[in-house]
Amino acid sequence: MSANIIETKGIVFTYADGTRALTDLSLTVPAGKRIAVLGANGSGKTTLFLCLNGILRPQQGQILCGGEPLKYDKKSLRRLRSRLGIVFQDPEIQLFAASVQQEVAFGPLNLGLRETEVRQRVQQALAFTGIEKLKEKATHMLSYGQKKQVAIASILAMEPEILIGDEPTAWLDQEHARKVMDLFYAISDKGTTVIISTHDADLAYSWAEEVVLLGRGKLLGKGPPEELFNHEEMLAAAGLRQPLLLEIYLLLKEKGYVLADTGTPPRNLGALSRLIREGSECRSSS
Ligand SMILES: Nc1ncnc2c1ncn2[C@@H]1O[C@H](COP(=O)(O)OP(=O)(O)O)[C@@H](O)[C@H]1O
Ligand SMILES: [Mg+2]
């Protein structure tokens, strides 16, 4: 497997009504990382994901998966989608089986796996997502947050190399949003490449190892969050702001409440409070 698991080369996608959604987009996605595609509404995040799994086909440019150009015949697409699974933004459109168990079994059955293997994968996916108790439930009876978990489990059961979550925290309350992001963290910990889209700079900053910034279908920037979020003008061009935690850190640094040479900026509250504590200890001992 190539180190860049997905690569797009100058892709252009225009919808039938003439809307240009992606413009000359070239990017490489490194294998095994947590990647956030960050952009305002309408910046092309969903279109990009639909291109990556072959639902949409760019009019120009090329997409490579594991070094191989995407092919659009049925067999190649089925293979691609078993390697690259998308959890769509709205679980209501993703779920269609009568029960949770059937829903999660659908993908592995479609892969032509043996029944014992299917059963094992379903069990593992339910356990991993913490929804074993729901397995006999009718999918239409579930809460929105539970539907999201089932949608994730159904993709996990295919054991994809790449898991994509399109705005995975959209319309979830804080607790369910945290659960989903923890789950995506754990999936990445197992070695799967995990890509999410979001318009939430705070989320991208705290969760991702690599951030891809989109604005009006164009790539505006790419890099580790500590670097990318330093570029205020670039964020403004994307209609976004710096993460709150970073703004607070920079303000505290400017006012001398944290030491000036602390290395990389903190990406969670625990790390920030540690820096403030160290700063105040240093001030009181001098
Ligand atoms: N089916 C469609 N037909 C026409 N235009 C669309 C369609 N879907 C999305 N678009 C347009 O393409 C652009 C990118 O949309 P989208 O990829 O959904 O962005 P995001 O996911 O970042 O919100 C927007 O201008 C949007 O209005
Ligand atoms: Mg979208």
Averaged pLDDT in 10-residue chunks for the chain of 286 residues: 80 98 96 97 98 97 94 94 94 90 95 95 97 96 94 96 96 92 96 97 96 97 95 95 95 87 86 88 76
**Are 234 and 279 members of one domain?**
no
Mutate to test the pocket of ligand 1, among 12, 19, 55, 164 (most ligand atoms within 8 A of CB): 19
Q: SS3 of 67, please?
A: coil
Q: Specify if 24 maps to a domain.
A: yes
Distance between Cα 79 and ligand 1 center (Å): 26
Q: Output the CA–CA distances (angstroms, integers) from residue 241 to 192, 206, 208, in the order listed.
A: 29, 14, 17
Chain centre distance of CA 195? 3
Atom of ligand 1 nearest to the CA of 17: 4
Residue nearest to atom 27 of ligand 1 (CA): 42
Residues 229 and 247 in one domain: no
Give nearest CA residue, ligand 1 atom 1.
15
Alpha carbon of 22 to ligand 2 centroid (Å): 13
Mutate to test the pocket of ligand 1, among 20, 47, 49 (most ligand atoms within 8 A of CB): 47
Do both 185 and 86 map to the same domain?
A: yes
171 and 271 belong to one structural domain = no
Has residue 108 been placed in a domain?
no
pTM, two decimals, is 0.94
Ligand 1, residues at Cβ distance < 6 Å: 15, 17, 19, 21, 39, 41-47
CATH of residue 52: 3.40.50.300
With respect to residue 150, please indicate whether it lies within any of the assigned structural domains: no
If asked whether residues 165 and 286 sit together in one domain, one would say no
Ligand that comes closest to the CA of residue 14: 1
Testing ligand 1's pocket by substitution, the residue of 14, 17, 20, 46 carrying the most ligand atoms inside 8 A of its CB is 46
Exposed, middle or buried: residue 43 (CB in 10 Å: 0-12, 13-18, 19+)? buried
**73 & 31 share domain:** yes
Round the CA-based radius of gyration of the chain to a whole number and report it.
Answer: 21
Which ligand neighbours the alpha carbon of 41 most closely? 1
> Which atom of ligand 1 is found nearest the CA of 19?
5
CA of 21 to the centre of ligand 2 (A): 11
Q: Give the pair of three-digit tokens for residue 160.
A: 């994809």
Name the residue range of residue 28's domain.
Answer: 4-94+161-241
Q: Is the dihedral of CA 118, 88, 183, 143 positive or negative?
A: negative
DSSP state of 114: -
Q: 190 and 88 in one domain?
A: yes
**Within a domain: residue 285?**
yes
**From atom 20 of ligand 1, which residue's Cα is the shortest distance away?**
42
Q: Structurally, how many domains does the chain consist of?
A: 2
Same domain, 177 and 209: yes
Q: Which pLDDT belongs to residue 261?
A: 73
Q: Are residues 247 and 237 part of one domain?
A: no
Same domain, 223 and 174: yes
Q: Domain for residue 100, yes or no? A: no
Based on the domain organization, do 285 and 221 belong to the same domain?
no
Instruction: Examine the domain organization and report whether 187 and 265 are in the same domain.
Output: no
Residue 112 inside a domain? The answer is: no
Report how far ligand 1's centroid is from the alpha carbon of 47 (Å).
6
Q: Where are the strands (E) in 94-253, listed by range?
A: 162-166, 193-198, 210-215, 218-223
